[in-house]
Amino acid sequence: RKEVEQDPGPFNVPEGATVAFNCTYSNSASQSFFWYRQDCRKEPKLLMSVYSSGNEDGRFTAQLNRASQYISLLIRDSKLSDSATYLCVVNLYSGNTPLVFGKGTRLSVIA
């Protein structure tokens, strides 16, 4: 089983739609979790951290389910500018590979 798995998509949604991505991780000792956003041919940028209590930042909501070992990202009222690849990141903290990235989920918001 891969350390971090994501559905690669693409998810094609109309403007204004709500879309959700899931990401599963294999190491139950994982310490912290993040979502990064990567635009085409650009560097990844931190979107938000993910906490057990869940967290919200405007139209974006992230949730963590430690029992089932998955994290989710919900985007409400999608904008054209939300079109990007969303990378799930898990911090193992210990061992040789501190932060592990998923392959990313591609989102296209269409007018």
Partner 1 sequence: DAGVTQSPTHLIKTRGQHVTLRCSPISGHKSVSWYQQVLGQGPQFIFQYYEKEERGRGNFPDRFSARQFPNYSSELNVNALLLGDSALYLCASSLVAGADEKLFFGSGTQLSVL
Residues that bind partner 1 in the complex, under the rule CB under 8 A: 4, 31-32, 34, 36, 42-46, 49, 87, 91, 93, 95-104
Closest CB 43 distance from partner 1, rounded Å: 4
Query: Which is nearest to 86 in space by CA: 2, 26, 10, 3?
Result: 10
User: Phi, psi (5° rounding) for residue 81?
Assistant: -70, -10
Structure tokens at 21: 């991505």
Closest CB 9 distance from partner 1, rounded Å: 12
Closest CB 4 distance from partner 1, rounded Å: 8
Structure tokens at 62: 């992230």
